[in-house]
Chain A
């Protein structure tokens, strides 16, 4: 696993202010220098407050966009599937539905696995959030939210709590209790407040912080105990639909996707957007990091899934077929990153060979749109949720 390369720092003397600081590489007129974060930020905003007119700003924006495209294109010397030519092709896949979880009264919108690799939390349009034991299919907990369309739910790393939210514009945390005399709803804690619907939520490395994405176009990091807003992330031009945290122990970046067709990578400490990608032709419904942390995949309403490499700063693969015309709602990688599972609005799940770009399997079973899909933490199975009110565990 690698830390996000651009944020790992070398310590030394800044080339501009000469102070001993953590440094990052910076390119000024084709020369590589090492600046501290303060000088790098000054360089970004230098001269933007004097004498500029609408016209000069627009022309600088255009020329920078052109330069970015040029720089990205220069490094595009090969395609991923060419690099993977010598890799052995995958054999035939036999993946079947092993468990069907029935109990929701309406469309299943979101699900998440517990770190114990067997429990699952799911949320539905009918306002119910259910915790299941996927081995036995028993329902262990159920809570009814005060709103319908619970679009986001997440399991805490400790397995002792769940978070959920949707049309109530909030993210609430419920501690899980096995005490029959205690009502789960009584212990509910409201953590996040947005000005539009909650589309996604995720605990960070601990039960103490939650990251949320919202229809109000922002993402935010919250402290669970106090409900305080720790950092907000502005930059998307429309609803943010999904997010995923980088798989590093130090975990300080995450990626988000939105209705503005963009996927953006953020620095959690500074709130700044580090990289942005805009190659999809429609809403980005789902983003997921590659297990190594150096890349991420996205699924979109344009019926394609795409792989973006963070160090090359560009799209490196596209997973599509002419026969697939419905949007991909949800994507996830297998443990090694060799397979990409994607759930579509045409009720199917397509399994893609990440390296070769080919589809290796198509899974039928759901009777309506697949809305959510996650691989289990140990990679032995994956679970899909659908508008047909059920969840299926495949292995």
Chain B
């Protein structure tokens, strides 16, 4: 019985590995270039990278009085 369970598990593993082996892959240099380009295109709009001036930061310290949004 144990052998059949093990065989079934291996069949699933082999089927999955065959699916993965059939994938089309791209070169790392091309993929990394795309990652880098995406960042460069979007970095200007990234508040955590650019920093936010205090008057625009919704989280600046509340110095008494009311907070206007």
Taking beta carbons and an 8 Å cutoff, which residues of A are in contact with B? 5-6, 25-28, 32, 40, 43-45, 48-49, 52, 54, 57-58, 60-61, 64-65, 67-68, 71-72, 75-80, 83-84, 87, 90, 94-95, 98-99, 118, 134-136, 235, 272-276, 290-292, 294-295, 309, 311-314, 316, 334-339, 354-355, 375, 378-382, 393, 395
Asked whether B31 lies within 8 Å of A312 as measured between CB atoms, the reply is yes
Asked whether A311 lies within 8 Å of B25 as measured between CB atoms, the reply is yes
Nearest 8 CB-CB pairs, A to B?
A98-B59, A336-B42, A336-B46, A64-B17, A57-B10, A83-B32, A312-B31, A311-B26
Interface residues of B in 1-48 (CB under 8 A from A): 3, 6-7, 10-11, 13-36, 38-43, 45-48
Q: Cβ of A291: which chain B residues have Cβ within 8 Å of it?
A: 38, 42
Taking beta carbons and an 8 Å cutoff, which residues of B are in contact with A? 3, 6-7, 10-11, 13-36, 38-43, 45-49, 51-52, 57-61, 67, 69
Asked whether A77 lies within 8 Å of B27 as measured between CB atoms, the reply is yes
Give, as a whole number of angstroms, the nearest-CB distance from A99 to chain B: 6
The A-B contact count (CB < 8 A) is 200
Closest A-chain residue to B24, C-beta based? A25
From known contacts A71-B21, A273-B16, A355-B39, infer whether A335 and B47 are also in contact, taking CB-CB under 8 Å.
yes
Q: Cβ of B20: which chain A residues have Cβ within 8 Å of it?
A: 64, 68, 275-276
Interface centre among A87, A134, A312 (most CB of B within 10 A): A312
Contact for B46 among A6, A118, A272, A379, CB less than 8 A: A379
From known contacts A43-B18, A78-B28, A135-B58, infer whether A380 and B7 are also in contact, taking CB-CB under 8 Å.
no
From known contacts A64-B21, A68-B17, A312-B26, infer whether A295 and B35 are also in contact, taking CB-CB under 8 Å.
yes
